[in-house]
Amino acid sequence: MEEHQKQYAENRDALVDAIGKTSGVLRELKEFNKNRWIIHYPELVGPAAASKREQLHSTSSTMTVPKVGEEERPSLARAQTSMGGSTGKEEMSVLKLDLKLGAANIGSPNNGQALVHSLEKSSVAQLLEGRMTTSLRQLTSLEQRISDTQSKVLVTGDLNAGKSTFVNALLRRNVMPIDQQPCTTVFCEVLDAADFNNGKEEVHMLRKDVQYDAANESTYTKHAVEDIEDIVAKAEECSPEDAPLLKCYCSDTRSTQQSLLRNGVVDIALIDAPGLNRDSLKTTALFARQEEIDVVVFVVSAENHFTLSAKEFLWNASNDKAYVFIVVNKYDQIKNKEKCKRLVLEQIKQLSPRTYEDAEDLVHFVDSSAVMEREQQDESPSFAQLESALRDFVLQKRSKSKLLPASTYLLRLLFDVGFLAKTNLDVAQKELNDARKALEAARPALELVQKNQGKVEGLVEGEEDGVVGKINQDATGTLTKAVDVVGKGGMADGRPLPNYPGLLEVWTYAQDVRSALVDSLEAVVRSVEDSARVVATDAVHRIREMGESHLPADVEKSQRVFLPEAMFAKRRSKKATHVAGLGLGAELVEVRISDLFDASHHLLVITGQDEETAGGNAKKDHEEEMSLVNSFSVGMGALTLVGGKAFGAKSAVEAFVRVSDMLGSKAFRRWAMPVFVVASSGLVLWTIVDLPNSIPRNVGRSLKRELKSADSKKTAFVDVDAARVSRETRRVLRLAGYDLSERFRVAVAQRRAEVEKQEKIAREADEAERWFEKTGKEVQDIRTGVAGLQWGQ
């Protein structure tokens, strides 16, 4: 016994240490899943699954998982139907995600897994995180359980299986209420009164939401043992979540060699639980309580075998309890006992293989109700064998009954964690390799697009400056020439002048001429705009061709449509407030006296001042004007002495002397008046006759003066309109350039995003690869230590 206790202590300490390490690994895995890497849930199919399992097991010959992990979860078939053989498929158990699909899940256990793999990775990771949280809580319970010197024995089973009757049979007294109808609706923990309550037999009903303390009566209410039946009856009226928890302290008068409760070796707590299929809340509570249990005594009715709830419970129990003590109750009432035994054992083989292997000690066919009816000397041998086996299992084989379940759960959990680590290590390696390959293509693609972007921006800028400069030069030349033609009284666009209507409508004629000349300038401006449209259209096409030749093929085509007719639309929209759309004031077309006879101009021509102020073309204009003046010089006498250029001092004196001489002559005085009258009449007649020619010249000169800049050789009109055409052209080309730049920006952004995405994937995958490799080794070391523990026979 001493050696046994020593081995038990060593195994317990080793398990506590392993549980602590496993909890640390699981917390790190949970944190890693939450903040750094979405854990991939393994999807095993065919040979791939077998290969991965072999990799997990090949590291150590001692690293075998209990056989129940190799069994597929049993389908929920009728209790009386025999179960088929094992599929041999290995899968996760503790961390397994098995979503319920209702009726669709029956007969097709893989449907739940298919549903899991159809979910988003993040959703699966959240479900897995929930499973890890549950496992961490269970590890805490396991540590507390194996550190606790008390052994808790849970007696559970289906409704009317005879659980309370079995507990009474173990105590050899009627403590728990029994009836043909289901009557146990509460958890009742039976303890030895001598060890736990100073020998007082009583029932403590725990207060809700208060930590129980036997020394503090405010945490419970006292009742007599005989009141249990009334308490249970009243609990029927409560909602399931309000049902009380009971601690029953009673005495067993039998010797320590016979009594399980008062055995003299280990403190025992017998827990009578409600039926599994009574309602879902109690079943759920029972599953939760199972984490605190050392030994499960499962009572099944020989008449009904294992129900759906029983199968579900045993499947969950197998996660940490490879061995379950099974009592097939009411066996004496079965006629064909061999058939019953065979069917029950076949079901146990499916539900708990390790229990089936040790069925001689762990599976017992008895009738508990008969034990209380028999005399002491006529005790049931089958029940006596059951008690002996249960005492041995709970007391003598404590390592097997108390520690082995924790070891089993640890091995299964570690297998799952190792499986996840191996799966995600493979995924991380694949993602890392894929990301590196993707970066080998993405980085050069980004560099090429950036290089082409800079190149095209330079080309577009050069194209814009060249086209705008050419259009400005052409527009300036064309408009300057047009203004010069108008200044000479001609139509800028080559059309004929309006017809002369006669002397009586000379004012109207001057108005028509002025309007016609202004319209001719408008026509020239339109031709300049049309030329700019053609040049701009060609330039826009060239800019787009630059983009198509330098942008990647997968970049979306430009959706912008260039409409040449939209150019200069803003100027045309202002025609109503500007003369002929030129942007000039309405006073430009108003007729003035100088349009009929420009005396100031003739005076400037005669005095020669026009050449000084008019620039390079003034000399030619002066010569033309002088030819008209000379035609009247015959009747002007002294005026013929005036030079063709400016009056000098000498010329003025000489002219004055000659005039004085002529005035002193009688002949001059006699002919002066007739000559003056004739000359004046000729001048007036010539002026009237020349009006169809002089009016266009006068109007043209007037327009030219009004369009001329005061401080420049070029006209303000020419500068403004040339700048306007150039500005509109630059705007159009700049929009085309902006559109191309935007397409390049999008292309660069897409490729930079791809590079950053792959770099992030590579970083995370590299970190995950190192982390899962480290975690896999840690898990392997822990598993090796747990699997190496000796449990004895």
Beta strands 295-301 and 325-329 are: parallel
Higher pLDDT, 74 or 468: 468
Range with lowest mean pLDDT among 482-496, 497-511, 639-653: 639-653
Residue 323 lies inside a defined structural domain of this protein: yes
Helices 404-487, 506-550: axis angle to 10 degrees equals 150
Is residue 568 over pLDDT 80? yes
Q: In this predicted structure, what is the pLDDT of residue 608?
A: 58
Residue 327 lies inside a defined structural domain of this protein: yes
Residue 523 lies inside a defined structural domain of this protein: no
Residue 761 lies inside a defined structural domain of this protein: no
What mean pLDDT value characterizes the chain? 77
Range with lowest mean pLDDT among 332-346, 373-387, 508-522, 599-613: 599-613
- Burial letters 397-424, b for 16+ CB under 10 A, else e: bbbbbbbbbbbbbbbbbbbbbbbbbbbb
Helices 2-35, 121-147: axis angle to 10 degrees equals 160
pLDDT band at 669 (very low <50, low <70, confident <90, very high): low
Higher pLDDT, 607 or 551: 551
Q: In this predicted structure, what is the pLDDT of residue 199?
A: 85
Q: In this predicted structure, what is the pLDDT of residue 354?
A: 84
Provide the domain count of the chain: 1
Higher pLDDT, 610 or 516: 516
Give the mean pLDDT of 84-89. Answer: 36
Reported in sequence order, the residue ranges of 646-789 that DSSP labels E, i.e. its strands, are none
pLDDT band at 208 (very low <50, low <70, confident <90, very high): confident
Range with lowest mean pLDDT among 314-323, 506-515, 725-734: 314-323
Is residue 646 over pLDDT 60? no
Give the mean pLDDT of 745-769. Answer: 94
Residues 433, 428: Cα–Cα separation, whole Å:
8
What is the full DSSP assignment across 75-101? P---TTSPP----------TT------
Report how far apart, in Å, the C-alpha atoms of 50 and of each of 57, 90, 141, 344, 536 are: 11, 8, 33, 31, 70
Q: In this predicted structure, what is the pLDDT of residue 776?
A: 95
pLDDT band at 283 (very low <50, low <70, confident <90, very high): low
Within 13 Å of residue 550, how many CA atoms lie on the same side as its CB? Answer: 26
**Range of the structural domain that residue 313 is part of:** 149-379
Q: In this predicted structure, what is the pLDDT of residue 183?
A: 56
Residue 675 lies inside a defined structural domain of this protein: no
Is residue 200 over pLDDT 80? yes
Residue 188 lies inside a defined structural domain of this protein: yes
Digit-coded pLDDT (tens) for 159-170: 888 888 888 888
Structural contact between residues 788 and 62, judged by C-beta atoms closer than 8 angstroms: yes
Give the mean pLDDT of 195-206. Answer: 89
Q: In this predicted structure, what is the pLDDT of residue 625?
A: 46
| Amino acid identity for residue 157 in this structure | G
Higher pLDDT, 336 or 265: 336
pLDDT above 90 as % of the chain? 23
Is residue 567 over pLDDT 50? yes
What is the full DSSP assignment across 587-643? GGG---GGGT--HHHHHHHHHTTHHHHH-TTHHHHHHHHHHHHHTTGGGGGGGGGS-
Is residue 146 over pLDDT 90? no
Digit-coded pLDDT (tens) for 87-99: 334 578 888 886 6
Report how far apart, in Å, the C-alpha atoms of 15 and of each of 63, 296, 787 are: 16, 20, 10
Q: What is the CATH number of the domain that holds 323?
A: 3.40.50.300
Q: In this predicted structure, what is the pLDDT of residue 132?
A: 92
Higher pLDDT, 608 or 384: 384
Structural contact between residues 16 and 146, judged by C-beta atoms closer than 8 angstroms: yes
- Burial letters 355-368, b for 16+ CB under 10 A, else e: bbeebebbbbbbbb
Residues 69, 707: Cα–Cα separation, whole Å:
101
Digit-coded pLDDT (tens) for 6-43: 888 888 899 999 999 999 999 999 999 988 888 888 87
Q: In this predicted structure, what is the pLDDT of residue 111?
A: 56
pLDDT band at 554 (very low <50, low <70, confident <90, very high): confident
Q: In this predicted structure, what is the pLDDT of residue 151?
A: 81
Digit-coded pLDDT (tens) for 446-465: 999 999 999 999 999 999 99
Q: How far is C-alpha 577 from the geometric centre of its chain's CA atoms?
A: 56
Residues 771, 765: Cα–Cα separation, whole Å:
10
Q: In this predicted structure, what is the pLDDT of residue 416?
A: 93
Is residue 55 over pLDDT 70? no
Give the mean pLDDT of 631-652. Answer: 45
Is residue 61 over pLDDT 70? no
Total-model pTM? 0.60
Q: In this predicted structure, what is the pLDDT of residue 462?
A: 92
| Amino acid identity for residue 484 in this structure | D
Is residue 177 over pLDDT 50? yes
Long-range CB contacts for residues 234-243, cutoff 8 Å, separation at least 24? 235/185, 235/186, 236/185, 240/279, 240/281, 240/282, 241/281, 242/208, 243/185, 243/186, 243/274, 243/282
Residue 576 lies inside a defined structural domain of this protein: no
Q: Hey, what are 215's tokens? A: 């020394």
pLDDT band at 238 (very low <50, low <70, confident <90, very high): confident
Residue 154 lies inside a defined structural domain of this protein: yes
Is residue 603 over pLDDT 60? no
Q: In this predicted structure, what is the pLDDT of residue 394?
A: 80
Give the mean pLDDT of 349-369. Answer: 89
